[in-house]
Amino acid sequence: MRQVKIGVLGCGTAAHFHASACKYLDNIRLVSAFDVNYENAKKLADIYNLTVSRNYQDIMKNENIDAVLITLPHYLHAELTITAAEAGKHILCEKPMAPTLEECDKMIKAARKAGVKLMIAENHRFLPAHQLIKKTLESGLIGTPLLVRGYEGVDETPDLAKPEHWKGSPEKAGGGVLMDAAVHKFAILNWMLGDVHSAYCWLAKQIIKLQNKAEDNAMMLLKFENGCVGSVVVSDTVFSPPNNRLEFYGTEGTILEDHSWKKPVQIFSTSKEAGEHRYQWFSPDVEHEPFPMYYIISFRNEDAHFAECVLDGREPDFSPEEAKKAVEVALLCYLSAKTGKIVTRSDIEKVAISKGTQSIIEGLEKIYI
Ligand SMILES: NC(=O)c1ccc[n+]([C@@H]2O[C@H](COP(=O)([O-])OP(=O)(O)OC[C@H]3O[C@@H](n4cnc5c(N)ncnc54)[C@H](O)[C@@H]3O)[C@@H](O)[C@H]2O)c1
């Protein structure tokens, strides 16, 4: 059987999502787990029948392992991706690609040099509901998109409230909820609407008051190169099940999406192309189930795609360059929050040349209203 064998680096929440999703797949198998916290590796290994590696070098040297799954705090993504590439392993690395653009570039370069596949695990790109929205936009059913709204809300307060936990730490996570959650939205909005032109952003610290933690809520206003404008709101302090929403308002119709709906996408179109559905809401069939199943569905599709790319020598549909662009939008928003100004992508380029993009995330814990 053609199968990609995976070594898991980091055995927390995301590793468990991947492991439960991979149970449904024949072309990928998690074989070994490493975590700096042995108990976490052991727990994943016991549930999913993996071996435990005592250090990451054992995974890198293991000739039975084709690829690594990096489910580690954000500051480790670049280092482990580069090490894995140099060891000849293909890489599936969780989002965000890395907290700085320079690290993203190094990851891309290392993978290209080694001739291995690098895919950032952006599960939102592989959610059937999002793929349906992309097709609907391309079909012209809602005309030209003029306005978009995106939302993600989760409860991360248990980890954020721990002073030593990496979540929310600018140093280890590259920021708070914006770097963690809004990159999902940026990755899919770039894919659906094209590049962001400029951004304005507010960061708030409403529940997590720890001095070393960054924002727990964020609101961003975006203008896209194609003229569409919109808002993205993300929260780590939502005390109800996790949820995501997208709304697109176009010259000929509307798309509403909500992950908590059984049929997650509703479309209203005034276009003749809508046929019998013209002038009424309709919800096309799409594979979906409310939380937590939409995680498993999107992770399953994502992991299956990564394995196909490795086995068939294809480049991933979600390229590392696109993942870098999502990080760039996050940095655009952080730069706006820091300066209190509307920021364009050329402003980021100037910072990258003068001080490096690390300078944007430094001191984020002090920037909030
Ligand atoms: N796509 C999604 O929906 C989704 C959901 C959750 C997390 N994530 C992403 O997955 C990644 C991990 O997040 P998480 O929520 O699983 O975090 P987590 O804190 O639950 O797990 C991280 C694990 O890494 C281990 N670790 C920390 N430092 C280490 C080191 N130096 N060497 C080895 N192991 C180390 C920790 O012990 C822990 O077990 C992040 O990039 C996060 O953004 C994505």
Pairing of strands 217-224, 265-269: unpaired
Residues whose CB is less than 8 angstroms from the CB of residue 17 and which lie 6 or more positions away in sequence, other chains included: 295, 296, 299
Q: Is 2 exposed, middle or buried (0-12, 13-18, 19+ CB in 10 A)?
A: exposed
Protein residue with its CA nearest to atom 39 in ligand 1: 12
**Smallest Cα–Cα separation from 6: which of 75, 67, 54?**
67
Distance (Å) of CA 23 to CA 18, 64, 171, 197: 9, 19, 34, 41
Return the beta strands (E) in 111-162 as ranges: 118-121, 145-153
Q: Reduced to 3 states, what is the DSSP secondary structure of residue 155?
A: strand
pLDDT in tens, the chain (369 residues): 699 999 999 999 999 999 999 999 999 999 999 999 999 999 999 999 999 999 999 999 999 999 999 999 999 999 999 999 999 999 999 999 999 999 999 999 999 999 999 999 999 999 999 999 999 999 999 999 999 999 999 999 999 999 999 999 999 999 999 999 999 999 999 999 999 999 999 999 999 999 999 999 999 999 999 999 999 999 999 999 999 999 999 999 999 999 999 999 999 999 999 999 999 999 999 999 999 999 999 999 999 999 999 999 999 999 999 999 999 999 999 999 999 999 999 999 999 999 999 999 999 999 998
Rounded to the nearest angstrom, the distance between the alpha carbon of 77 and the centre of ligand 1 is 10
Rounded to the nearest angstrom, the distance between the alpha carbon of 283 and the centre of ligand 1 is 35
Cβ atoms of 5 and 314 closer than 8 Å: no
**Domain boundaries 4-124, corresponding CATH code:** 3.40.50.720
- Homologous superfamily of the 127-295+327-337 domain (CATH): Dihydrodipicolinate Reductase; domain 2 (3.30.360.10)
Residue type at position 86: E
Distance (Å) of CA 158 to CA 37, 212, 308, 320, 364: 18, 15, 37, 31, 20
Cβ atoms of 262 and 179 closer than 8 Å: no
How far is Cα 217 from Cα 233, in angstroms, rounded to an integer? Answer: 8
Can you give the residue ranges of every domain in the chain? 4-124, 127-295+327-337
Rounded to the nearest angstrom, the distance between the alpha carbon of 146 and the centre of ligand 1 is 36
Instruction: Give pLDDT, residue 1.
Output: 66
Rounded to the nearest angstrom, the distance between the alpha carbon of 145 and the centre of ligand 1 is 35
Instruction: Give pLDDT, residue 125.
Output: 98
**CB of 13 sitting under 6 A from ligand 1:** yes
**CA–centroid distance for 180 within its chain:** 8
By most ligand atoms within 8 Å of CB, the mutation choice from 8, 9, 11, 13 for ligand 1 is 13
pTM over 0.95: yes
Closest ligand 1 atom to the C-alpha of 165?
A: 19
**CB of 73 sitting under 6 A from ligand 1:** yes
Residues whose CB is less than 8 angstroms from the CB of residue 271 and which lie 6 or more positions away in sequence, other chains included: 140, 141, 142, 143, 252, 253, 278
Protein residue with its CA nearest to atom 29 in ligand 1: 36
Angular region, 120: left φ>0, alpha ψ -120 to 50, beta rest: beta
Protein residue with its CA nearest to atom 24 in ligand 1: 10
Closest ligand 1 atom to the C-alpha of 37?
A: 37
**Smallest Cα–Cα separation from 362: which of 185, 174, 233?**
174
Rounded to the nearest angstrom, the distance between the alpha carbon of 369 and the centre of ligand 1 is 28
Rounded to the nearest angstrom, the distance between the alpha carbon of 74 and the centre of ligand 1 is 8
Rounded to the nearest angstrom, the distance between the alpha carbon of 267 and the centre of ligand 1 is 36
How far is Cα 245 from Cα 121, in angstroms, rounded to an integer? Answer: 20
Distance (Å) of CA 353 to CA 122, 303, 309, 361: 28, 36, 34, 15
Return the beta strands (E) in 108-206 as ranges: 118-121, 145-153, 196-204
